[in-house]
Amino acid sequence: MRLGVSGAVVDGAWCAGDVEVGDGRVAAVGLPPAQGDAVAVPGLVDLLCHGYAGVDLASAEVDGIATVRAAAARDGTTALCPSLLTDDPGRTTAALARLDAARDIDRGGAHLLGAHLEGPFLSLGRIGTHPPEHRRDPDPALLARLLDAGRVDVVTLAPELPGAGALVDLLLARGVVVSAGHSDADAAAAHAAIDRGVRSVTHLFNAMSGLGHRAPGLAAVALTRPEVVATLIADGHHIAPEMIRLAFAAAPGRVALVTDAVAATGMPDGPSRLAGVPVTLAGGVVRNGAGGLAGAATPLLGGVRTAVAAGVGFVEAVGAATTVPAELVGRPDLGRLTPGGRADVAVLDGDLAITRVLVDGRVKTL
């Protein structure tokens, strides 16, 4: 099947010409181009997704998880980390078990990666919308309990907390990506954490120490350490365009766009919930009862468009939503459009809007 595109992002570079898929794989690229401005990009990979289409992943049953996967795929996201907010440990372990039960049920939606535990080992001063009553100081026994409850690919923690180093060691031993976030780490603590094995920061600039020119914090250190991937919410609300350009300029090839999507994503304005916390969607912005940002409601492709509008090159913005996050979690088979590779593909028009999505070569109904 020819996709009818004029070009594609292939192995991180622009390749003129049409793309052919067959038997769930990319069969050929660089074929005679189709007329028009349609382009193909790899299916997007989202490492921070708390919900979608009215479904909160903290409480979702198998059918609800399938709804999230299908809705995300229709928006061009063909793989995602189901993400869990700081919560009661019993509810978190139950949610992890449900995600494991749903992971191998193939209904044609986005691939379900291991969970992203955003907490509970966070800084109280940078807690954001996370319920403070469920925040915990570093506790290796509790972390081991959570890891034993279901597949986990990423854990966000505040590395400056006393005892956090033991958590980093445990996570690395279990093959889990450690991301620093909801953190008030100073430069020394941030460097020490990266030296120990932290390889990512969660939603750069948000809920973390920043860019003070005499007292740099986690954000500044992350941008200067070449082994660190900085995840970033480019929804048009969390970060100003100048800061998006700064991140991409300071860390080329090391920015991963994420959504921080909540159940309100794809829904009309109104009340919603985030792991039991009441939130409200209004005008594309999700806020908690205190008026603070509480996750987001912009699909990942919207983040690509926002980055491009901010001045980031198209190919680089696509890479930040595909190959960079896929490689961070050790999945080189995802987020890549290459001959012989998995046919997870999004076809975009000249306005970078979705016209067609394929997951394993199967076309999703929009």
The pLDDT, as a whole number, for residue 366 is 73
236 lies in the same domain as 344? no
**170 token code pair:** 């445990």
The pLDDT, as a whole number, for residue 338 is 98
Residue 145, pLDDT above cutoff 90? yes
Residue 175, pLDDT above cutoff 80? yes
304 lies in the same domain as 236? yes
Q: What is the CATH number of the domain that holds 318?
A: 3.20.20.140
**Residue type at position 164:** A
* Interval 230-258 mean pLDDT: 98
The pLDDT, as a whole number, for residue 276 is 87
Residue 95, pLDDT above cutoff 90? yes
The pLDDT, as a whole number, for residue 340 is 97
| Other beta carbons less than 10 A from residue 140's beta carbon | 12
Report the percent of the chain where pLDDT is more than 70. 100
Range of the domain at 297: 44-332
361 lies in the same domain as 316? no
The pLDDT, as a whole number, for residue 365 is 74
213 lies in the same domain as 345? no
CA–CA distance, 155 with 159 (Å, rounded to integer)? 11
24 lies in the same domain as 74? no
* Interval 199-215 mean pLDDT: 97
CA–CA distance, 309 with 365 (Å, rounded to integer)? 28
Q: Which pLDDT band holds residue 106 (cuts at 50, 70, 90)?
A: confident
9 lies in the same domain as 51? no
* Interval 146-164 mean pLDDT: 98
Preceding peptide of 131 cis, ω within 30°: no
Residue 31, pLDDT above cutoff 80? yes
Q: What is the DSSP string of 307-322?
A: HHHTT--HHHHHHHTT
Residue 323, pLDDT above cutoff 80? yes
Dihedral sign, Cα of residue 152, residue 154, residue 155, residue 156: negative
CA–CA distance, 48 with 172 (Å, rounded to integer)? 19
Which residues form the catalytic set?
Answer: 260
Q: What is the CATH number of the domain that holds 345?
A: 2.30.40.10
87 lies in the same domain as 28? no
Report the number of distinct structural domains present in the chain: 2
346 lies in the same domain as 323? no
192 lies in the same domain as 80? yes
* Interval 105-132 mean pLDDT: 95
Instruction: Give the single-character DSSP code of 100.
Output: H
Dihedral sign, Cα of residue 34, residue 35, residue 41, residue 42: negative
The pLDDT, as a whole number, for residue 108 is 80
266 lies in the same domain as 355? no
The pLDDT, as a whole number, for residue 364 is 81
278 lies in the same domain as 361? no
Q: What residues have CB less than 8 Å from 106, skipping those under 6 apart?
A: none
| Other beta carbons less than 10 A from residue 221's beta carbon | 23
34 lies in the same domain as 51? no
The pLDDT, as a whole number, for residue 242 is 98
CA–CA distance, 130 with 275 (Å, rounded to integer)? 9
Residue 130, pLDDT above cutoff 80? yes
